[in-house]
Structure formats: structure tokens, C-alpha cells
Chains A and B, each alone.
Chain A
């Protein structure tokens, strides 16, 4: 019994390996890729989501996925370290803070640590952008920044940047005058900008 099962799985594994040699599939297989990045609230509702794969063609398919991922991970403690699960043939890494749930999904064969790096980059960048007050209210009030943040992390499934400081710097380069090169900005400048931004909004 034991041997039969294992030899079958070996066959399956071999079959898979054979298939990534074909030119059609090798593109996505060989380059690490992200299938979606989700930011949900404590009830599983969307704050901001971005899909990069055709696995969920319709909005209802996306919502169903979000709902089941949320339900499955809801009770876990992903507040100190990022957690991980295998779900419907996808690897999902996730991390929670306050009433916000961060998720990054990749294919079953993806290197788990690469996905975790993307998640950490997103998580920390949001923390920098929201100046430490990371909750749903703050996130919605700065939704423009969150969306820009997503735009800077992944482009069409390909990882663009994973360093939270660089991501936050790019997003926060808001009110610098046109013509000033981005590269001359430092993180402290970026944070100052963000701080100013917040102060302005509080005065209103």
C-alpha cells in the first residue's frame, strides 16, 4: 500500500517536472510570480485587492476566494510572524495587524520565502506610509497611497520591489516639485512628507 502510493506521487511529480520543459509553461514557472495581493478588513471585506492571474476570472470568483481564505485564516495568530497555508493549490502567506489582514498568493510550486518577502515588503511599506497607525480607518483614508503602494510592489505578477523603505519612498514622493529627481530623496524626507501630509489632513 505504502509503496504504491508513494510511487504514484513520484510519477506525478515527474510528470510535472516534465511539463515545465515545454516552452509555453516555462515562462511563468521559472520566474517567481505573484497571483494576487489582498488587503482585507477584520470581517473579510476588501480594503484594496489586486489580482495578477486568470485563476479567478470574475469578480464573484475573486470574492469567493477572498471569503474562503479569510475564513480559513481568521482564527490563526498571524500577528507577530507571517503565517502560511496551502489552499486550493495555492500558497497563501498572510499577516494581520489591528483590523487589517494582509495576504499574498502564489502558485503551489512557488518558493514560499519569496512570497513571504513580498508580503513583508507590502506590510512594512503600509506601516511606513500610515506612520505606524495601521488600521482599517487609516488605510481607507489613505487609500490612494495604499493603491500606489500595490502598484509599486508587483507589476502584472512580476515582483517589482520588495524593500519597504524603497516602496514607501516612491509612494510618498508626492508633493515634491516636478523636476526634483527622485533619487535625491531620502527616507527621512519621505517620512517628513508623509508627516506633513497627515498634519494637513488633521487641520482640515
Chain B
């Protein structure tokens, strides 16, 4: 057998690349396959040829249909031989060839004979081969043998039948499901693997029957499952049962937890790990439940086997995301893994540590990471950089060492994504940690001296323009910026010119020197650079001319643009060149969260008569157009805000109605979006009758009924109220849908002529203070807060009473105020005892409002809150407090 199968090629050096298959060729091997037809079979030779055929297939060679068929027919001849070794190869070969249905018939009888053979090996393999190649019709013929095989005393035969059953369940479930009794018996088998295969098949047969799975798990967790693999399966099924029953038993002891915990003391490592992982993934797992699982995982961390260490650290890494405190006990073991030979383990250890680390360990950690950074891939480095950024925000006092680390790795080799992650991190740190500003800016300046990425250079230049002039010594940045004008491409040069101009505009002492530099840029060979230089020289008065440009222009050129760019882009697209100049104040400031609706031709829309627009418009733009197209509402002025739709009906009722509140300066319009879900009805003259007796400041001025509301075609009806101008009036409105209903013949779609008047009670609707607040974010809350000044500030403290969690309290206040959370502060870290949340918005009358909320837990559940409001108008600051006080 070990004899070279093909004659060695004499030209080749036989020491170096010796292989028995050297020079093998498909055509020749197919020729050789003729020996299968010899009347006197030579089993060894036939085996060799099959091995060659399998070798070819394994190397990726493919046979044509004809070749495959020929080989298949030749191979079937080999069933005549009684040689076991050859028969084994024949089985493997038939599976590899995956014959077609008409070919299968040829071998069926031979395989069925083997299936009933006295030789166990024949039975086991014949079952696997036959089940692999058979189709449903044949299956009924052999079903009897398969059922017998499942309970065969030979474990190999039983496993073969059970595994085949698992595969067949996908294609012929109805047949396999009839084997339940036999499979159930096999679950009790003394052979480990049989038990494993039987359990897998039994569960799959019953998986859609929750009760049966529950019973299976209950009985098996009490008994003893012998095979570790079967035990792992049982743990998975148990977790599934726990998951599905979790809804009913929120409190008290979790069912089956004791079983999982017991598995932590199993002798097989795979079972221990499976159980530990299952516990960490339990829904809403408590620290008490976690502890034993963490303990065994911690032991795995110091194992000599890399696989164990990897499995443990990967699981702990996931736990650290939700329960960082639970993992801190493992920190010492985790730190030794930073130098692990296996880089996957080291990276997982680092990121886990960065999530759980405390302030005192930061320096040590950074030292270890520095050694480790050079030999991991960029994708891992990005993970590390992001983890370091979070760490720095968590421990601002450590900014010096963390910032140094970032600037060091910024100087090393790396791709764009990696560099961008570092730059983004430095920018965020500069923004959030004032002490880190100057050193951070200098690091960035050094970086752009030698930066190959245009995008990063321009981003940094822009950022320098904003932050640089506010530092103690702005002049030191000028050199870095002006170098760009000499050394870089046009895009970066243009960016540098703008940045220089910003320094000139904001720092008077630098102005003359900036003019000198800008004048040099006027001769640049790129027109954009020249244009910018000229524009800035003119606006800043650098060419000796009297500066007549107003503050507006300066504000526009150098101030921060507080309009969402998407909105500006849309408004500019819609702007048609005319006598009237584009007014930037007309750009909506609301941050859009929904995707833009399809644009409709403006002005020409039929006003809901006959052909109602399909579906409610979902954006401010669309709302604005819709409302201005209705003559009754045309004189209400500029739309201030439209709320998100509020449902006024339960889901799946006869008529689905939701309402959008449109706030104008002196008016409020309710837009009721109605859908008729009854195919046999047509509604006409649909109107909502609103009772405003609980909303004293509101008076109904107009309403717009919906002429007709056919099945499943949404339409709108409107009601408008007048309210005192600029006042955030609140109130409660009760609603009644009134309409004429006509029967529709579903077959023809024709409605009867006569209708009946009917009413349908809707839920109440409230206009709340949050409706007068626009969600408008600010890019840098700290700057905005400071520039607003303390004049209009109002501070007070409130007790919010017992709350489920801090996060719940934070959300409640955000929703009450209807403001935009800034800098991700709406998210409360798990287990924290205090939290600061920053909000920004624009109050009716276009008054900017900033809010700083400080929450703290007072006792086990009571939440206390300090509310600081700054706005341009003290009255508005008071109003915000009033909202909270009354909310």
C-alpha cells in the first residue's frame, strides 16, 4: 500500500518533495479504475485506485457528469469483494460521488444487504451511506431496519442510525418523528456517544413542543447523563427552558439554576465551561448567580491549555460589558495574560482589563500594553484604542499617561482606520478634559507634520481652528498650520488657509501676522486656496480696506454652524434661484431621526379631497408642506415643531388613529392619521370631535374633515386651536371619531348609497411642555454652556422619589423636557450611583436652552436630582423648572 502509487519523476529531487501522488493525473486514474471490472478482483489494487480518486477529489479536482457516472458504476461492482478494507473505501467513495436518484437504485440492494449483515461495521456504514444518498420513497422501505438499528446493542450501529436520523429530520421529518420510542430508549443507553446522539435527535423531534422539552429536561437533569457531550447538550436545552420560562418567574429562585451550578463541579472541562457560559448568559443574571461561574472561569485563566484560557477570557470579556464589577476579582490573573503567546488571548485580556480596571492600575496597564501593541493586527489595535479612550473618560486624572500613549502610537506605522481611531480619541479627550487640551493639540500638530491622509489633516486643521485660538498661547500653532500651505496638496492647503483666518478673526494680536501669511496664499496655484485667502483678507480687512462686513458674516464664516448639515443641504436643494436671497434661518433646526420621506411636488397637492396622500408624511419638511397647502392653516406662520405620532387606539382595532401635534406660535394643529381596517366598510365625512374643556387656554378655530376613508388607505383629518401667542399652554383633549359608515360589497367593491352615522371613542390627547421644546443638539456642550453665561441660570434640587433604576429616572426627565441629550450622556452605566446628563434644545420663541442634570441615588431606590438651566431668557429658565416641578 505504501508503495509509490505512481512512478517517481526522475527529474525531481525525491528528497525534497516526495509524494506518492506526484505527477498524478485524472485521465490516467480514470483509466486505472477499469480494474474494478476485472472478473478476478485484486482488493489491494482496487483500494489504491479508490484512494487516488479520493485524493483527486480532495485536492479540488471535479469529475464531469459522465466521468462520475462511470466511476460510480465501476465502484458498485466492488460489492462482490468480501474484503473489509476495500468495502470501507467503497462506502466513502459512494458518499463522495453523491449519485443521482436513478443511480442510487443500483446500490440500494447491496447496501440493504449490508444493513442486515452480521458484521457490525457493515451495518453501521451501510446505514450512513444509504441515508446520505436516499430519498423519501426508499426511506419507508428501510425504516424498519433503521428503527431496529437505533436500539442495536452495538453502539457504533446505534450511533450511525441516530446521526442519520438527525440529518433525515431536515428532509423527512414526518418519518423520523415516528421513531420517538426507539430514540427515547437509546437516550438511556450505556454507551456515551449513543446517549449524546439520541438526546440530540430526541430534542430536535420535540423542539417545537415546549412542554415536552420541559419534561425531557426535568427528567434528565435529575438522572445521570454519562457522556460529557450529552451533558453539554442538556445544559443548552436547560438554558433554553430557563429563557422561555423567565417571563413568568421574574422573582424568586430561577428554576434549574441548581442544575447549572452543579455542572460547574463536573469532571469534564467542556461541561464545566458550558455550564459557566450558560450561567453568564442568563437573562438578568444576578451577582450571586454569577459568582460560582466566574470562579471556575478564573481557574481556567491560569490553565496551561491555550484553548481553556481563550474560552475563559472570551466569556469574561462578555461579562465585563454588563457586570464589570463581577470580573474585577480576575484582574490579577487577567494581567498575566497580557503577555500570552496567543495574541487573541492577550487582546481579549487587555480589553477586559480596560473595562474593569481602576485608577491605580492604569499606569501599570499602559506599560504592558505598550510592549504588546507592536505585534498585533490593526483591527485589534483599534479595539485597544477605543478601550483606552473610554478608560480616559472614566479617569480624567490619568489623561497625561493615556494621552502620551495615544501620541506615541500615532507616530508609529498604521493604516487609515487605525490612525483615524487614534485622532478621534485625542479629539474627544481634548473636548472633554480641559487639562488635556494643550498637550493634545500639540500632539495633533506634530502628527499633521507627517500625515499621509488628507482627510485626517483637514479634520485636524479644522479642529485646530476652533480650539487653537482659545488656548493661552495661540501663536505657537501658527507655524504648524502655515507649513501645510507650503508642503501639502490643494485640499489641505485650503483647509490651512481657513484655519489661519480663524486665528486672525479670533485673536486680535495675531491679526497683522496672519495677514502677511494670507497675502502670500493669494498667489497659490489652486483657485480654491486663492479664493479662500482673498475672501478672508477682505472680510478681516487685511488689504487696508474699511471693513464693512457685519457681524453676521463673521458669525457665519467663523462661528459654529448650529444647523444640522443634512437640513441645510436639503434646504439648499429646494431653494430656487430668485430675487429673494437664501435665508439660513429658514433651515429647520430639528435633528431628524427618521429617514427623509419622498419629496412631493410642492404646492400642487390636492388638499386631501378624493385622493389622500398615501401614508402620513413623516418629516418636518413634509409636514410643513402639507400644512401650508391647507388654506385654513396657511396664515398660522412658521411651523415650530411637529411631535412624533401618538397612538389614540389600541393595536388591531377596527379603526387605527394616531395624532401628530403641530405647534405654531399662536396655534396648535392636531393631525389625525386614520386607517380603516374593515374591508366591508367605507367611511365618509370623517372628523374628530375634540372636547377641550380641560384645556382652558385653547379655542377651536377650524377643522378639516376627511371626505372619504376607504379600507386600508390612510387619510388625515385636522383640527386647529388658537392659543395665547408664545405661551407654552398645556391641556388635555378628549377625542371622538365621528363618521358616516357605508356597507361595501367585498366582491364588487361598490358601496351602498345609504350610510349610518356612527361614533368611535378615541383615547385622550395631551399637549405638554415638551411639545414646545425642539430637540437641537450642540456639538460642544461645555463651550456652549460657558458662552451662555451664568446670567440666565437657575439651579434647584428635586427629589424624584423611589425609581426602578437611575436610568429609568434619567429617561423620565429627558422625556418630560423633550430635549436632545448631548455627548451620549443619556446612557447610564450599569450599577452607577450617580450620573450627569446634558441636554440642549430650543424653546418656543427660539430661545436656546441648556440643561445640566445631576442625578444621585439617595438610599436604596430614591433618586435625587439637581437641575441647572441656562438660557438666553431667565423667564424660560424658570419655565423649565416649572415643567420639572409640575411633572
Please tell me if B84 contacts chain A, counting CB pairs below 8 Å: yes
Cβ of B1 and Cβ of A160 under 8 Å apart? Answer: no
Chain B residues with CB under 8 A of A31: 166, 200, 204, 233
**B1, B21, B322 — which one has the most chain A CB atoms within 10 A of its CB?**
B1
Given contacts A82-B306, A144-B89, contact A179 B118 (CB under 8 A): yes
Closest to A176 in B: B84
> Pick the contact of A85 from B244, B342, B828 — CB < 8 Å?
B342
Best-surrounded residue of A46, A85, A114, A178 (most CB of chain B within 10 A): A178
Contact assessment for B243 and A76 in the assembled complex, using a CB-CB cutoff below 8 Å? no
Give A3 to B243 CA distance when docked, in angstroms. Answer: 25
Q: Kindly supply a per-residue 1/0 record for chain B positions 819-849, scoring 1 wherever the CB is within 8 Å of any chain A CB and 0 otherwise.
A: 0000010011110000000000000000000
- Which residue in B237, B307, B389 is a CB contact (below 8 Å) of A84? B307
Q: Which residues of the other chain, B, contact A173 by a CB distance below 8 angstroms? A: 84, 121
Flag whether A90 is at the interface (Cβ < 8 A): no
Cα–Cα, bound, A83→B340 (Å): 12
The reply to whether A23 and B207 form a contact with Cβ atoms under 8 Å apart is yes
CB distance B322 to A49 under 8 Å? no
Residue of B19, B200, B306 with most chain A CB atoms under a 10 A cut-off:
B306
Please report the C-alpha to C-alpha distance between residue A82 and residue B310 in the assembled complex, in whole angstroms: 11
In the bound complex, residues from chain B placing their C-beta under 8 Å from that of A180 are 119
On chain A, the residues within 8 Å of B828 by CB distance are 3
Any A CB within 8 A of the CB of B76: no
A84-B342, A111-B270, A174-B84 given; A137·B163 CB < 8 A:
no
Given A76-B341, A141-B20, check contact A158 B2 (CB 8 Å).
no
A2–B390 touching, CB < 8 Å: yes
Residues of B within 8 A of A9 (CB): 321
Q: A76-B342, A84-B344, A173-B84 are in contact. Are A10 and B321 (CB under 8 A)?
A: yes
Chain B residues near A192 (CB-CB < 8 A): none
CA gap between A27 and B169 in the complex, in Å: 10
| CB pair A144 B51 closer than 8 Å | yes
Interface residue? B58 (CB, 8 A): yes
Q: How far is the CB of B20 from chain A (nearest CB, A)?
A: 5
| A198 engages B120 (CB within 8 Å) | no
B281-A17 in contact (CB<8A): yes
Known: A6-B355, A158-B197. A198 touches B273 (CB 8 A): no
Q: A27-B170, A31-B200, A151-B92 are in contact. Are A114 and B270 (CB under 8 A)?
A: yes
CA distance A31 to B235 in the complex (A): 11
A86 to B379, CA, bound (A): 13
Residues in B with CB closer than 8 Å to A141 are 1-2, 20
Select one of A23, A63, A114 contacting B60, CB under 8 A.
Answer: A63
Q: Judging by beta carbons under 8 Å apart, are A84 and B154 in contact? A: no
- Interface digits, A3-35 against B, CB 8 Å rule (1 contact, 0 not)? 111110110010001001101001100111000
A32, B229: Cα distance in complex, Å: 8
Report if B232 contacts A (CB, 8 A): yes
Instruction: State whether A143 and B55 are in contact (beta carbons under 8 Å apart), knowing that A84-B310, A156-B167 are contacts in the complex.
Output: yes
A-contact 0/1 string along B193-225, CB 8 Å cutoff? 100110010011001100000000000000000
Interface hits, A57-107 → B, CB 8 Å = 59, 62-63, 76-77, 81-86, 93
Cα(A170)–Cα(B170), bound, Å: 28
Query: Given B19, B84, B88, B304, which contacts A81 in the complex, CB threshold below 8 Å?
Result: B304
Choose one: B58, B85, B120, B307; the contact of A46 (CB below 8 Å).
B58
Q: Could you tell me the distance in whole angstroms from the C-beta of B285 to the nearest C-beta in chain A?
A: 12
Asked whether, in the complex, the Cβ of B311 is within 8 Å of the Cβ of A4, the reply is: no
- Give the nearest-CB partner of B117 in chain A: A178
Structural contact, A5 and B386, CB atoms closer than 8 A: yes
A97 to B342, CA, bound (A): 18
Q: Digit string of B287-298 for contact with A (CB within 8 Å is 1, else 0)?
A: 000000000000
Q: Quick check: B54 and A147 within 8 Å, CB to CB? A: yes
Chain A residues with Cβ under 8 A from B166's Cβ? 31, 158
Q: Which residues of B contact A13 (CB under 8 A)?
A: 281, 318, 321
Q: Does B394 lie within 8 Å of A2, measured CB to CB?
A: yes
On whether A27 and B1 interact (CB within 8 A), knowing A111-B232, A147-B54, A178-B119, the answer reads no
A105 to chain B, nearest CB (A): 14
Do the beta carbons of B60 and A59 come within 8 Å of each other? Answer: yes
Q: State whether B118 touches A84 (Cβ < 8 A).
A: no
**A142–B170 alpha-carbon span in the complex (Å):** 35
Is residue B18 within 8 Å, beta carbon to beta carbon, of the partner chain?
Answer: yes
Which residues of chain A come closer than 8 Å to B314, judged between CB atoms? 86, 112
Interface contact B1-A197, CB-CB below 8 Å: yes
| Docked pose: A47 CA to B91 CA in angstroms | 20
For the complex, what is the distance from the CA of A142 to the CA of B3, rounded to whole Å?
10
Evaluate contact between B342 and A3: CB separation under 8 angstroms: no
Contacts of B208 in A (CB 8 A): 23
Contact A27 B308 (CB under 8 A): no
The complex places the Cα of A11 from the Cα of B60 at a distance, in Å, of 41
B interface residues, Cβ below 8 angstroms from A: 1-3, 18-21, 47, 50-51, 54-55, 58-60, 62, 82, 84-85, 88-89, 91-92, 95, 118-121, 128, 132, 154, 156, 159-160, 163-164, 166-167, 170, 193, 196-197, 200, 203-204, 207-208, 229, 232-233, 236-237, 240, 243-244, 269-270, 273-274, 277, 281, 304-308, 310-311, 314, 318, 321-322, 341-342, 344, 355, 386, 389-391, 393-394, 428, 824, 827-830
Extra A-B contacts (16), CB below 8 Å, given A31-B200, A143-B51, A148-B88: A2-B391, A2-B393, A4-B824, A5-B390, A27-B170, A46-B59, A48-B58, A76-B342, A84-B306, A85-B342, A112-B273, A113-B273, A161-B159, A179-B118, A183-B154, A202-B2
Can you report 23 residue pairs joining A to B where beta carbons are below 8 Å apart? A1-B824, A13-B318, A21-B243, A23-B208, A30-B233, A46-B59, A63-B60, A86-B344, A111-B277, A113-B273, A116-B305, A143-B20, A143-B54, A144-B85, A144-B89, A155-B160, A155-B163, A158-B163, A174-B84, A178-B82, A178-B84, A181-B119, A182-B156
The list of the 10 closest CB pairs from A to B, nearest first, reads: A2-B390, A201-B2, A113-B270, A174-B85, A112-B311, A59-B60, A6-B321, A141-B2, A116-B307, A3-B829
